Amino acid sequence: MVTVKKAVKKTTARKKKAPARKKTAVKKRLAARKTTARKTIKKRPAAKKTVRKKTAAKKRPAARKKTAARKKTAAKKRPAARKKTAARKKTAAKKRPAARKKTTARKTTARKRTAKKTSAAAK
């Protein structure tokens, strides 16, 4: 004769879940309070000034360089297909009139620089 084991009811799982759910609710409430506080702080004039300063700092050449470098590293980590699309977009951007103007200006300045060097060497 084979003994059949009785199925044990699992009630512990439900008991554990309830307090966890409560905890998440509390956490959410706290997070909401934090976000509202942050928003109010952002509205203050001093905070606005700091934000303006931060944005200005981002536009500075050194920061621009850093962001460009960060983007490059991110691009390296991306999958190949997305890399290709990004490259295509970049080339397209280079062909736009404003970019063309910039490249020509850069080239002229470079030419002037080399001319100066050659003239100095000739002297």
pLDDT digits (tens, 9 = 90+) for 85-120: 988 999 999 999 999 999 999 999 999 999 999 988
Over range 2-14, report the average pLDDT. Answer: 63
Q: What is the pLDDT of residues 14-68, one digit of tens each?
A: 555 556 667 788 888 888 888 888 888 888 888 889 989 999 999 999 999 999 9
d(CA 108, CA 114): 10
Q: Is the pLDDT at 1 greater than 70, yes or no?
A: no
- Whether the CB-CB separation of 47 and 41 falls below 8 Å is answered with yes
Backbone φ, ψ for residue 55 (5° rounding): -65, -40
d(CA 11, CA 16): 9
Q: Is the pLDDT at 2 greater than 60, yes or no?
A: yes
Give residue 17's pLDDT.
Answer: 57
- More confident position, 7 or 82: 82
